[in-house]
Amino acid sequence: MVSVLETNGLLQILLLTLMAGLAMPIGAAIASVERIHPRWLETEVRHSVIAFGGGVRGDVFGFQ
């Protein structure tokens, strides 16, 4: 299967775009779950923003 994908560029493009397109409905299905606690979600969003900001700062200033 892998060798077929490597030789057929169109098939690889179609498969990758299909997987990317499925991310939205899968994310919507996960988001529709009502059992997620708002406080937990707020903490995770804050953590994600801080981690992203730290990564950008490290890239800009060359920190390792």
Nearest to 41 by CA among 51, 56, 31, 27: 31
Q: What's residue 59's pLDDT?
A: 62
Q: How far apart are CA 59 and CA 13, in angstroms?
A: 30
pLDDT in tens, the chain (64 residues): 566 656 688 888 888 899 988 988 888 888 777 676 777 778 888 888 888 877 766 666 665 5
Q: Report the C-alpha gap between 28 and 40 in whole angstroms.
A: 18
The pLDDT, as a whole number, for residue 64 is 54
Q: pLDDT at position 40, please?
A: 77
Place of tokens 């060798």: 3
Do residues 11 and 5 make contact, with C-beta atoms less than 8 angstroms apart?
yes
Cβ proximity of 56 and 62 under 8 Å: no
